[in-house]
């Protein structure tokens, strides 16, 4: 007999979206173990719908990257870690959009890297989703060339309220999570975020249907998302920076400028995590991670850059209950949820 797990569907109104991490009243209160089915709008708030829609004409800064949330998690207190397990992440539309934005991106002058050159022109590309082939279709604007990319949905933005009562723009990634833009934030992953305020106040958004590493032009293939997730609280365990766990790997996201500091944060943190949970010395772990890590550049375009240090579990001691074993617990719940949905 299949266990029935209640799934709470939440679709925010336009007025309910959050535009910052911190400083926003909770959209709802939830308990550890609850399962949510959330709708998130794309980073443009659904306003870029054709090649004629230029970002500067239809969007208004800072109203980009609308977040669904925040959610107050009962029992989450500063000094704990919030565990968010992404059960299912699926496109909510059969199309998505990508653009170029003046003074934004890795290969143009920006507000941080100023030059006397003119900004790159604004353009808009619309991608069609082909669910049968599990792909998204790129079509060039200036020629007849087109190609398809694998459909690989994930959330660019997921975070909690920052420490010290700070309020941060949703474009910023930092220790609280935020706009990390890592493709590892996909179905099957557990994201661990240190709790800074009572209830944690987590939110998510910025759905990406696919993205190249680094998000070079500053914009992925952006789309609305339907995401099923569940949460737990790891009591008395502090995650200084965002940790991620999949069935196959441990990861830490470091977000800062310059890029090498983001790299240092990610690797220092994952070395400390592995050493603490396994009992290995720091120096042995340093050597182990130096050879095992597969570290992806998530973005080089946001207010801070993000690097994700990733260590495959195959190189680590076996049977370690990482983060008190919460990932395995949530994976079991996820399987029950998906079994229930598929049986309908």
Q: Looking at the domain assignment, is residue 41 inside a domain?
A: yes
110: pLDDT strictly greater than 90: no
**How far apart (Å, rounded) are the C-alpha atoms in residues 209 and 73?**
28
Q: Looking at the domain assignment, is residue 60 inside a domain?
A: yes
Structural domain containing residue 91 = 7-241+322-342
pLDDT for the residue 113? 86
Q: Looking at the domain assignment, is residue 265 inside a domain?
A: no
Tokens (6 digits) for 146: 């087109």
Q: Looking at the domain assignment, is residue 53 inside a domain?
A: yes
pLDDT for the residue 341? 74
Query: Residue for token digits 């395995």?
Result: 328
Q: How much of the chain exceeds pLDDT 70, in percent?
A: 98
**DSSP line for 163-215:** STT--EETT-EETTEES---TTSSTT-EEEEE--STTEEEEEEEEEEE--TB-
> Is 248 in contact with 268 (CB distance < 8 Å)?
no
Q: Looking at the domain assignment, is residue 71 inside a domain?
A: yes
pLDDT for the residue 2? 46
Considering only residues 158 and 114, tell me which one the structure prediction assigns the higher pLDDT.
158
1: pLDDT strictly greater than 60: no
Q: Looking at the domain assignment, is residue 123 inside a domain?
A: yes
Largest Cα–Cα separation, the chain: 68
Average pLDDT estimate for 21-27: 98
pLDDT for the residue 111? 83
Q: Looking at the domain assignment, is residue 317 inside a domain?
A: no
Q: Looking at the domain assignment, is residue 253 inside a domain?
A: no
Average pLDDT estimate for 30-35: 97
Under 8 Å CB-to-CB from 106, ≥6 apart: which residues?
214, 215, 216, 217, 218, 300, 301
At 244-284, the pLDDT tens digits run 999 999 999 999 999 999 999 999 999 999 999 999 999 99
> Is 205 in contact with 65 (CB distance < 8 Å)?
yes
Q: Are strands 173-174 and 123-130 parallel, antiparallel or unpaired?
A: unpaired
Report the CATH number at residue 237.
2.60.120.580
Average pLDDT, the chain: 96
Q: For the whole model, what pTM was predicted?
A: 0.96
> Is 120 in contact with 55 (CB distance < 8 Å)?
no
Distances (CA, A) of 219 to 4, 94, 180, 244: 39, 18, 13, 23
Under 8 Å CB-to-CB from 312, ≥6 apart: which residues?
248, 249, 292, 294
Per-residue pLDDT band for 342 (boundaries 50, 70, 90) equals confident
User: Could you give the number of structural domains in the chain?
Assistant: 1
Chain Cα centroid distance, residue 141: 29
Average pLDDT estimate for 85-89: 98
């Amino acid at each position: 007999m299949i266990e029935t797990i209640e799934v709470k569907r939440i679709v925010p109104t336009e007025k309910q979206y959050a535009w910052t991490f911190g400083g926003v009243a909770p959209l709802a209160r939830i308990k550890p173990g609850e399962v949510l089915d959330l709708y998130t709008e794309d980073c443009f708030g659904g306003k870029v719908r054709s090649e004629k829609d230029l970002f500067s004409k239809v969007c208004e800064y800072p109203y980009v990257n609308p977040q669904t949330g925040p959610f107050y998690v009962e029992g989450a207190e500063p000094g704990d870690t919030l565990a968010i397990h992404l059960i299912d992440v699926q496109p909510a539309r059969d199309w998505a959009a990508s653009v170029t934005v003046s003074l934004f991106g890795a290969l143009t002058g920006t507000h941080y890297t100023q030059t006397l050159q003119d900004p790159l022109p604004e353009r808009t590309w619309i991608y069609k989703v082909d669910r049968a082939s599990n792909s998204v279709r790129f079509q060039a604007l200036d020629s007849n060339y087109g190609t398809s990319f694998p459909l690989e949905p994930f959330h660019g933005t997921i975070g909690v309220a920052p420490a010290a009562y700070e309020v941060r723009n949703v474009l910023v990634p930092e220790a609280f999570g935020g706009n990390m833009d890592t493709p590892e934030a996909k179905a099957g992953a557990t994201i661990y975020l240190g709790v800074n305020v009572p209830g944690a106040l987590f939110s998510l958004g910025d759905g990406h249907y696919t993205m190249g590493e680094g998000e070079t032009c500053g914009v992925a293939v952006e789309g609305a998302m339907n995401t099923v997730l569940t949460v737990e609280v790891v009591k008395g365990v502090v995650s200084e920076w965002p940790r991620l766990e999949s069935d196959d790997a441990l990861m830490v996201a470091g977000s800062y400028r310059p890029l090498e500091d983001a790299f240092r944060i990610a690797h220092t943190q994952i070395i400390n995590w592995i050493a603490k949970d396994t009992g290995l010395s720091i120096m042995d772990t340093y050597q182990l991670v130096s050879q095992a890590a597969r570290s992806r550049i998530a973005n080089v375009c946001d207010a801070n850059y993000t690097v994700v240090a990733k260590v495959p579990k195959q190189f680590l001691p076996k049977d370690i209950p990482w983060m008190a074993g919460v990932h395995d617990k949530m994976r079991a719940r996820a399987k029950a949820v998906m079994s229930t949905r598929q049986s309908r």
